[in-house]
Chain A
Amino acid sequence: MATVPLPPFQNLLDAHARDVHRFLIATVGPVDAEDAYQETWLAALRAYPQLRDASNLRGWLFTIAHRKAIDHVRARARRATPVPEPAELPQAPAADGPGRVTDDDLWSAVAALPDKQRTAVALRFIADSAYAEIATAMEISEPAARRNVHEGLKRLREERTR
């Protein structure tokens, strides 16, 4: 079996940088996302030449991104204040009429989800991951991945109709 040569790392950046960035903003918030983003790509770059299986580079990248996001969420929990830090959440504009759900509202609602639901939702709708891929990235079972996405969606729907 011929081994497929690893493409230049730039190809990964071109194809996935924006989505990795969005995933991290959704999971750790815009402030920590900058660091988590650099850490994700440096970890990927470090491991890249030894990568044996280049058939699912996107899944591999999001697994790394998820680990870096967890590091940041845990670090934040350690220095935690009991209430969520409002500065970490994207601000919703005040002047929108009733029933109008803006992107910002949705970002805030996603940011307010429990960790696992937030991550699962972000993997599903930013990275377009299949449930099996979400399970791999989050190191949980596939039914658990499915459950987290659905519970996250349910909660977002409730927020929305509130």
Chain B
Amino acid sequence: MNETNHREDVEMERTLRAALRGGRDEVPPPSIVDAAAAAGLLDVAYARLDSPVGTLVLASTPRGLARLAYVDEGQEDAVLQDIALRLSPRMIAAPARLDEPRRELDEYFAGRRRAFHVALDLRLLSNFTRRVLTATAAIPYGGVATYKEVATAAGSPRGFRAAGNALGSNPLPIVLPCHRVLHSGGGLGGYTGGLNRKRTLLAIERGPGTTA
């Protein structure tokens, strides 16, 4: 190849790169969400939600909401990777598929909703965790219970430490209200999203004008 041709090739390559990557009227790629869902290949749809307790990530399977995660600063990638690992890597951002849970959560944070009705997928809960969290779901909105009471309701009266651990691994906080479980002395105990979030949720449930 001679010099002139080489120079022209280099220029042609530059032009090609620029031209083939997005001209003026480039059409954005279409969404594959609906096609993936119709083909049964959308294992996990997820969305973000801004809330008084920070950014949340919601993840649904075809059965229902399977994960609600608190996202701390800079942790979103790690949170999403964890969901992919625990549920399925066939995971696509599909906010419209989480409209229902997002709406219910918005209403809850606004103090206008006392119970959640979205379908849940409890596959991330072990049997014991499921018993413990089912017991917390019986604590009414605005009320509280102790770890011991919850353990007893779950059928393991002496297992209140294990119950505490089970609550700490709650994959669906807020919806399964582990924040309503406190120490018998009245102390806050622990919380999967940190105690500030627990205080905020309890304050929301006590209604406006109250403090944590």
Q: List 14 A-B contacts (CB under 8 A).
A: A6-B89, A7-B81, A8-B83, A13-B32, A19-B21, A20-B29, A22-B20, A45-B90, A46-B39, A103-B19, A103-B24, A106-B16, A106-B20, A125-B20
Least Cβ–Cβ distance between B57 and chain A, in angstroms: 11
Distance between Cα atoms of A10 and B32 in the complex (Å): 11
Distance between Cα atoms of A96 and B89 in the complex (Å): 49
Distance between Cα atoms of A103 and B89 in the complex (Å): 38
Contact A26 B23 (CB under 8 A): no
Whether A126 touches B90, Cβ cut-off 8 Å, given contacts A5-B84, A5-B85, A21-B29, is no
Whether A160 touches B88, Cβ cut-off 8 Å, given contacts A18-B29, A37-B29, is no
Question: Could you say which residues of chain B place their CB within 8 Å of the CB of A130?
Answer: none
Interface flag for A38 (CB, 8 Å): yes
| Tally of contact residues, B, Cβ under 8 A | 38
* Contact among A17, A30, A106 with B19 in the assembled complex (CB-CB below 8 Å): A106
Contact B12 A153 (CB under 8 A): yes
Interface flag for B212 (CB, 8 Å): no
Question: Could you say which residues of chain B place their CB within 8 Å of the CB of A107?
Answer: 19-20, 23
Interface flag for B211 (CB, 8 Å): no
Whether A38 touches B30, Cβ cut-off 8 Å, given contacts A18-B22, A45-B41, A106-B19, is yes
Distance between Cα atoms of A43 and B88 in the complex (Å): 16
* Contact among B27, B36, B39, B89 with A8 in the assembled complex (CB-CB below 8 Å): B89
**Contact count A vs B, C-beta below 8 Å:** 107
Contact B91 A10 (CB under 8 A): yes
Distance between Cα atoms of A157 and B2 in the complex (Å): 14
Interface flag for B117 (CB, 8 Å): no
Contact A9 B29 (CB under 8 A): no
- Most chain B beta-carbon neighbours within 10 Å: one of A6, A101, A122: A6
Using CB atoms and an 8 Å cutoff, list the residues of chain B in contact with chain A. Answer: 5, 8-9, 12-13, 15-24, 26-30, 32, 35-36, 39, 41, 44, 46, 80-81, 83-85, 88-93
Question: Could you say which residues of chain B place their CB within 8 Å of the CB of A21?
Answer: 27-29
* Contact among B20, B22, B32, B81 with A122 in the assembled complex (CB-CB below 8 Å): B20
Contact B84 A6 (CB under 8 A): yes
Question: Could you say which residues of chain B place their CB within 8 Å of the CB of A30?
Answer: 27
Question: Could you say which residues of chain A place their CB within 8 Å of the CB of B46?
Answer: 8, 10
* Contact among B16, B41, B89 with A156 in the assembled complex (CB-CB below 8 Å): B16
- Most chain A beta-carbon neighbours within 10 Å: one of B15, B19, B22: B19
Using CB atoms and an 8 Å cutoff, list the residues of chain A in contact with chain B. Answer: 5-10, 13, 17-22, 26, 30, 34, 37-38, 41-42, 45-46, 48-49, 101, 103-104, 106-107, 110, 121-122, 125-126, 153, 156-157, 160
Contact B41 A46 (CB under 8 A): yes
Least Cβ–Cβ distance between B59 and chain A, in angstroms: 10
Contact B35 A38 (CB under 8 A): yes
Distance between Cα atoms of A107 and B21 in the complex (Å): 11
* Contact among B23, B32, B88 with A104 in the assembled complex (CB-CB below 8 Å): B23
Least Cβ–Cβ distance between A15 and chain B, in angstroms: 12
Least Cβ–Cβ distance between A56 and chain B, in angstroms: 16
Whether A22 touches B8, Cβ cut-off 8 Å, given contacts A8-B83, A101-B15, A106-B15, is no
